[in-house]
Amino acid sequence: MRTLRSLPYAVAAASMLAVALPASAQQLSIATGGTGGVYYPIGGGFAEMINNHIEGAQATAEVTGASVENMGLIMRGDADLALALADTVYQAYNGSGDFEGRQIENIRALASVYPNAVQLVTLAESDIESIADLEGKRVSVGAPGSGTELNARALLEANGVSYEDFTPQRLNFNETADAIRDGDIDAGFWSVGPRPARFLTWPPHATFA
């Protein structure tokens, strides 16, 4: 795999977070992500473990827009636990970046879930060799409210590129992979573990960079 930009993240790249729960709480809501991404099945696994091994507790994995939205759900008390990228959590806790003016101090990291990397992916025959080459292209920046879009914005800004320089598409992980394969977009950002299994479903000719 030749990714155009791959940034390893800290061990808490995707962490389960929580606010303090009242002692009487029995129902737990776990904010995850879209059904086509990684967070939802992971959250479902956590819910199953809680339901099977913690007497009196009933957990449910909730479909959400992922990291950024999940921080808001935690802040408002609409979720008890959440999965999120470490940099999204950092910004939320410190009131920086997309969370400037709305600091969320009542969050705590409970566990590191898996190592994560920001990746910009295109087909092998593409002429895209750098972020600057996205100008005039069709590019998925991640689903609305996702940590992927937060990461994409940060990388674009660091390279002097804005949404005005290309045609942004807000697609989730599976939608991005399918759109790249089918030629509906030219490139896409995502924040996942390296070499996602989604590409195993691609036909042999649809190699990716």
For the chain (209 residues), the mean pLDDT of every run of 10, in chain order, is 34 40 71 88 95 93 93 93 92 91 90 86 91 97 87 93 97 90 93 65 53
**Amino acid identity, residue 189?**
F
For residue 177, the surrounding DSSP H or E stretch is helix 173-182
Cut 0.85: pTM above it: no
User: Are residues 62 and 124 both part of a single domain?
Assistant: no
Question: DSSP 3-state assignment of 105?
Answer: coil
Q: Are strands 27-31 and 58-62 parallel, antiparallel or unpaired?
A: parallel
The range of the structural domain enclosing residue 36 comes to 10-112
Here the CATH number for the domain that contains residue 32 is: 3.40.190.10
Same domain assignment for residues 99 and 122: no
Half-sphere CA count of 207, side-chain side, radius 13 A? 7
Name the token pair of 175. Answer: 């939608």
107 and 122 co-located in one domain? no
CA atoms of 75 and 67, how far apart (whole Å): 13
Clarify whether residues 17 and 107 are in a common domain: yes
Domain termination residue (choose one: 93, 112, 131): 112
Domain boundary among 112, 129, 162: 112
Two structure tokens written together for 184:
């509906």
107 and 20 part of one domain: yes
In a domain, 207, yes or no: no
How is the chain split among helix, strand and coil, in percent rounded to 5? 35, 20, 45
Could you tell me if 102 and 144 lie in one domain? Answer: no
Are residues 105 and 32 both part of a single domain? yes
Determine the pLDDT at residue 197. 56
Domain assignment present for residue 19? The answer is: yes
Residue 163 lies in a domain: yes
Give pLDDT, residue 199. Answer: 58
* pLDDT at 37 (0 to 100): 80
Domain count along the chain:
2
Is residue 127 within 8 A of residue 64, CB to CB? The reply is no
Query: Domain check: are 150 and 96 in the same one?
Result: no
pLDDT the model gives residue 168: 98
Shared domain check, 94 and 14: yes
**Alpha-carbon separation of residue 2 from 114, 130, 191, 208 (angstroms):** 21, 12, 15, 8
Q: State which of 112, 131, 151 marks the end of a domain.
A: 112
Residues 152 and 83 in one domain: no
Same domain membership, residue 121 and residue 61? no
Give the chain's radius of gyration (CA, Å). 18
- The residue assigned the tokens 């479902």 is 44
Same domain, 72 and 103: yes
